[in-house]
Amino acid sequence: MTTSVSSLPAVEVSTYISDQPLDLVGLLAGAHHPLAGAVVLFSGDVRDNNLGKQVAYLEYEARATMAAKMIAEILDEAKRKWNLNIAVAQHRVGKVAVGESAVVVITATPHRREAYEANRYIIDRIKHEVPIWKCEFFTDGTKKWGGNCNCHELTGDPHKHIYEVEKETNQ
Amino acid sequence: MEVEVFALLKDYFDKKFIVPARLSDIESLKQHLLDLNPAAEQVLSSCRFAVEDEFVDHNYQLKENDYICIIPPSSGG
């Protein structure tokens, strides 16, 4: 599936958004680069508990075309900022079981510091900005939308994330 | 103009629905949504609007064939 709704180059949605289990091993195998001495892989896995309740499974929904485009842009920006040799990110949609990976980010650079920093930057932005939503289904039969980005409750601004405020405070 | 909503907004509106062409901008669309379901006020206040997959602000002038997504705060990862 390719989107062409934007003036930006079309991106292959399935590269960034997948309704199938994420192939961490395969993605990692493809993320080695002769100039990169450091490869960092972050996997956001589904926990069996949240807010003191037992989680049965999660379901993710996305505006897939928009999410793919935004992830591509975030990766491009990180690549430029840290001179990454490789930057990969993929987010799962649909039902995701406990212990499975919901999102993966891989960064490869000559040295580890940049690989870690860029990886954290990419996952933070994906979690907070990209139109993907989590619904938690608990074992007691209840469900709850959201749960990760409640930044607006902390910052008082629906469009301001906590890490943006932290950045301002640190400057 | 067609609207698509996501995540918890689906508890307040149909997933996709047509809105009247007379709505001129995002602000009037928002008012229309509140008329449809006043209980959505708090949820809508934290949402952003996107047209053709690009975020737009409240002054954006709606066009006849616009496809509008209403985007709640993200909770990926």
Distance, in Å, from the CA atom of B56 to the CA atom of B29, rounded to the nearest integer, reads 13
Q: Where are the domains of chain B?
A: 2-71
Distance, in Å, from the CA atom of A63 to the CA atom of A32, rounded to the nearest integer, reads 30
**Amino acid code (one letter) for A66:** M
In CATH, the number for domain B2-71 is 3.10.20.30
First to last CA, chain B: 31
User: What confidence category does residue A4 fall into, taking pLDDT thresholds of 50, 70 and 90?
Assistant: very low
Give me the domain span that covers residue A77. Answer: 13-170
Model confidence over B33-72: pLDDT tens digits?
999 999 999 999 999 999 999 999 999 999 999 999 999 9
Residues of A with CB under 8 A from a CB of B: 3, 5-6, 44, 60-63, 65-67, 69, 91, 102-103, 123, 126-135, 145-152, 158-159
For residue A67, how far is the Cα from the chain centroid? 10
Q: Which residue has the tokens 């992830």?
A: A71
- Number of domains making up chain A: 1
Buried b (16+ CB within 10 A) or exposed e, A139-159: eeeeebbbebbebbeebeeee
Model confidence over A82-115: pLDDT tens digits?
999 999 999 999 999 999 999 999 999 999 999 9
What's residue A162's pLDDT? 62
pLDDT at A3 over 60: no
| Chain B residues touching A65 at Cβ < 8 A | 53
Indicate which CATH number applies to the domain containing A141: 3.90.1170.40
Residues B76, A130: contact at Cβ < 8 Å?
A: yes
List Cα–Cα distances, A158 to A129, B44, B52, in angstroms.
Answer: 11, 11, 22
Longest dimension (CA), chain A: 50
Could you tell me if residue A138 is inside a domain? yes
Write out the two tokens for B1: 């103009």
Give 3-state DSSP helix, strand, coil % of chain A, rounded to 5: 35, 30, 35
pLDDT at A34 over 80: yes
Which of A4, A63, A73, A150 should one mutate to test binding to chain B, selecting the residue with the greatest count of B CBs within 10 A?
Answer: A63
| Chain B residues touching A158 at Cβ < 8 A | 45-48, 73
